[in-house]
Amino acid sequence: MIQVIPFAALGRYEADWLSARHHFSFGDFHDPARMGFGPLRVWNDDTIQPDTGFPPHGHRDMEIITYVRTGAVTHGDHLGNQGRTLAGDVQVMSAGKGIVHSEYNREAEPTTLFQIWIQPNAQGLAPRWETKAFPKQAEDGLVVLASGRDQDRDSPALRINADAALLGATLDAGQSLEHTLAPGRRAYLVPARGTISVNGQPAAARDGVAVEAVERLVITATEDAEILLADLP
């Protein structure tokens, strides 16, 4: 099963400082048919205006991955972590038993990002935060950006406390790559930019593609594209 969820069908939130689209139920957007996908609970597509952002607020028992598409996001938390994550970079926050953090766009232009929440394997873990830049060139195929899968323990990927992985790649128009899902696993795929096909099914920029009961994925860029894929149980 491969289901494409068009960008226009996503939940939405609009404010003077934030434009958000929700792939799954979040905040005031509630759809009982879209409460998550396996342990993937949130995939938000945010545009944050300059000199604005999310003031200090708390999370717990969630693995939160932020992929910055354009601009940069500045993080601070009660543990003393401070950092600026640039476009193309990834940050991971394990909320664990509780963390209070803020995220701001301190840039002169809007910042766009994906924020992805994955339910952890266990509750009450120690909170932590990390950020890292990764190569995502087409010749490398899908690069593991963040993972808690056993097979990725020796990779440079950021660690999360979940049997899941976030992978990314850039493709030139006409290029393809393959991804094999182990038995019982599923995938959620979003083109950050460009248009693609997944086993022949077209998807436009910022659409969601939910994949279940399919072993082999062939992802082809019909124009220059940047993609993210969550490999999930």
Is the Cβ–Cβ distance between 210 and 188 less than 8 Å? yes
Q: The tokens 């994949």 sit on which residue?
A: 211
Measured in degrees and rounded to the nearest 5, phi and psi for residue 126 equal: -70, 130
Helices (H) and strands (E) in the chain, counts: 0, 22
pLDDT digits (tens, 9 = 90+) for 186-226: 999 999 999 999 999 999 999 999 999 999 999 999 999 99
Q: Cα dist. 159→57, 87, 102, 115, 123 in Å?
A: 23, 20, 21, 16, 16
pLDDT digits (tens, 9 = 90+) for 15-73: 999 999 999 999 999 999 999 999 999 999 999 999 999 999 999 999 999 999 999 99
CA angle 53, 33, 103 (to 5 degrees): 10
Fold category of 2-232 in CATH: Jelly Rolls (2.60.120)
* Residue-range domain boundaries for the chain: 2-232
CA angle 66, 4, 167 (to 5 degrees): 35
Q: Which residues make Cβ contacts (< 8 Å) with residue 57, sequence separation at least 6?
A: 100, 101, 102
Whether the per-residue pLDDT at 140 is higher than 70: the answer is no
Give me the half-sphere count of Cα atoms (radius 13 Å) on the Cβ side of residue 40.
27
pTM higher than 0.75: yes
SS3 of 33-44: CCCCECCEEEEE
Say how many C-beta atoms besides its own lie within 10 A of residue 35's C-beta: 11
